[in-house]
Structure 1
Amino acid sequence: MAKPAILTLELLQENFVICRLSPSSSLPSWAFNGPFVSITKTNDELSIITIDNNQLPKEIQCERNWKCFKLIGPFPFDMTGILTSVLNPLAKAEVGILAISTFDTDYVLVKDINLQTAIDVLKQNGHTINA
């Protein structure tokens, strides 16, 4: 078994929101009003993760108060253990997460009430956190 990867993570300063829309919804313009947006559409839902600028329509189902760690990459596609080196310690500490992957890197979101625990656990597991 390979040793867990030791990573540098950047804590993004913004607050994030995770929204759930109907799968038949068109992409709303409010999703693109910041430096970060992740959109996933399935047969069941349209999920949008973006910066919480408190400008969202009230009828949108949202989970607020998320903070985001950017795993400093890029990581080659054949590199293994990147997410598990972060997710396993957080799971052991009972910190819930939401993970997002892009072409170059990964992002891990945690609720803001769990942020300090997440930082402490990640540091205890050898990771560097840049805030």
Structure 2
Amino acid sequence: MDLQMINEAFSICKVKDFSEVNLNELYVFTSHTDEEYSVICPTKLVPKACIEVEHDWRCFRIAEDASFGKYGMIAFLADIIAKQKTGILVVATYDTDYILIKGSKWEEVKGALEESNCRFI
């Protein structure tokens, strides 16, 4: 499977609202539920008024056809990553999926993915 690293440090934030979030920036993901507003973004774009924030996340995406007709891609990646004793956060977009992992586990996870025939392009 072809993967592409996003060369940014990422943060995951809980915010009061989206008023400080610039949706025109690259790699800004938002969610709004009945309980919270969340933002995942490059660390350099973290809103000032965060309720909570967790830094040091790395992100890569599936760099091949990940359309709705395809299945099992996230399960395949999640299994490899889970064996490295770390969690993941997955963000799905219309075209592909983005996977975030803690920066401290990045080298281990990258190595395990490459050993499982994943290729970073």
TM over 0.5: yes
From 9, 12, 32, give the equivalent of 2:6: 12
Percent identity for Structure 1 against Structure 2: 26
1:67 aligns with 2:58: yes
- Offset of 1:70 from its aligned partner? 1.0
Structure 2 length-normalised TM: 0.90
Q: In the superposition, relative to structure 1, how do residues 55 and 93 fare at CA in structure 2: closer, same or farther (>3 Å)?
A: closer
1:34 aligns with 2:25: yes
Name the count of aligned residue pairs. 121
Q: Alignment RMSD, CA only?
A: 1.7
Structure 1 length-normalised TM: 0.83
Contact 2:3–2:120 (CA<8 Å) still a contact in 1? yes
Residue pairs, 1:105-116, within 5 angstroms? 105-116=96-107
Larger Rg: 1
Match of 1:3 in 2: none
Task: Name structure 2 gaps, 5 residues minimum.
Answer: none
Task: Name structure 1 gaps, 5 residues minimum.
Answer: 1-6
Divergent runs of 4+, >2 A: 28-34
Match of 2:111 in 1: 120
SS at 2:67 equivalent: coil
> 2: distance between equivalents of 1:104 and 1:114?
26
